[in-house]
């Protein structure tokens, strides 16, 4: 019977710690002393994967993930099916990455809700990109605001395919009335990465504006987000 593989041993018979153990400690110390800005994307991924892979060198997997998806943000937001295609990744690692994605979204949402008013458009865009830019299917989200532009809530109204989400303008306005919202911000993502609005996007937005305006509900904007940036229909003077 073939013997099982074992840790390398010294001449005295005691197990030698794998090389990556010292590397982990050095990486942790650099993170603690110099902060996350001192680490590259692959080093930050290495660190994030330590808990999921306590007995493996995580550097090769971190580099492979970045090579496949392009950036730290794209890795943690990648669809689980795509992550499983990467050699060496398992369910524990996927769970760890999805935990990071959920934490990033939760933090961004909390920061947005703590604002007295939505006076900073950058905060709104950052939250929308964090929440949706890397999704593999289109999502249509609405931010509901009160008369002081304070966020009441935000909701994903529809989830569609890779290039289409069904949106029903009357349902959008009905939900705003239910929440006593006097203004809304429409948001959806383009999984292709290109945030350029389609003719259907423009027509749908105008239909919502046409129904909402007589009821005293303002459509502040329709923001389209993608991996390659964002587009504002109001900024483009399309509404």
Superfamily in which the 118-232 domain is placed by CATH: Cytidine Deaminase, domain 2 (3.40.140.10)
- pLDDT at 116 > cutoff 70: no
Where are the domain boundaries for CATH 3.40.140.10 in the chain? 118-232
Give the Cα separation of 149 and 119 in Å (integer): 8
Instruction: Output DSSP code: residue 9.
Output: B
Task: Write the class of the CATH domain 20-105.
Answer: mainly alpha
Residue 24 token pair: 């982990």
| pLDDT, tens digit (0-9, with 9 covering 90-100), for 203-228 | 999 999 999 999 999 999 999 998 88
pLDDT for 136: 82
Where are the domain boundaries for CATH 1.10.150 in the chain? 20-105
pTM equals 0.60
Residue 61 token pair: 């997997």
61 near 93, Cβ under 8 Å?
yes
pLDDT for 183: 95
| pLDDT, tens digit (0-9, with 9 covering 90-100), for 53-78 | 988 899 999 999 999 988 888 888 88
pLDDT band at 196 (very low <50, low <70, confident <90, very high): very high
Judging by beta carbons within 10 Å of its beta carbon (0-12, 13-18, 19+), is residue 234 exposed, middle or buried? Answer: middle
């Amino acid at each position: 019977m073939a013997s099982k593989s074992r840790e390398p041993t010294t001449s005295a018979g005691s197990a030698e710690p794998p090389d990556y153990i010292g590397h982990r400690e050095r990486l942790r110390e650099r993170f603690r002393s110099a902060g996350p800005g001192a680490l590259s994307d692959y080093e930050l991924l290495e660190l994030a994967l330590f808990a999921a892979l306590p007995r493996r060198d995580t550097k090769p997997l971190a580099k492979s993930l970045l090579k496949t998806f392009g950036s730290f943000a794209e890795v943690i937001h990648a669809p689980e099916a795509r992550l499983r295609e990467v050699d060496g990744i398992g369910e524990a690692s996927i769970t760890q990455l999805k935990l990071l994605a959920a934490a990033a979204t939760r933090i961004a949402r909390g920061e947005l809700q703590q604002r007295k008013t939505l006076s900073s458009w950058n905060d709104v865009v950052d939250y929308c990109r964090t929440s949706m830019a890397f999704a593999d299917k289109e999502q249509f989200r609405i931010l509901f605001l009160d008369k002081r532009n304070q966020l009441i809530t935000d909701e994903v109204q529809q989830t569609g395919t890779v290039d289409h989400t069904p949106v029903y303008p009357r349902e959008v306005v009905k939900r705003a009335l239910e929440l006593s919202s006097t203004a809304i911000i429409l948001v959806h993502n383009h999984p292709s990465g290109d945030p350029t609005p389609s003719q259907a996007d423009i027509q749908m937005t105008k239909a919502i504006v046409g129904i909402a305006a007589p009821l005293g509900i303002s459509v502040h904007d329709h923001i389209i987000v993608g991996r390659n940036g964002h587009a504002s229909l109001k900024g483009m003077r399309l509404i």
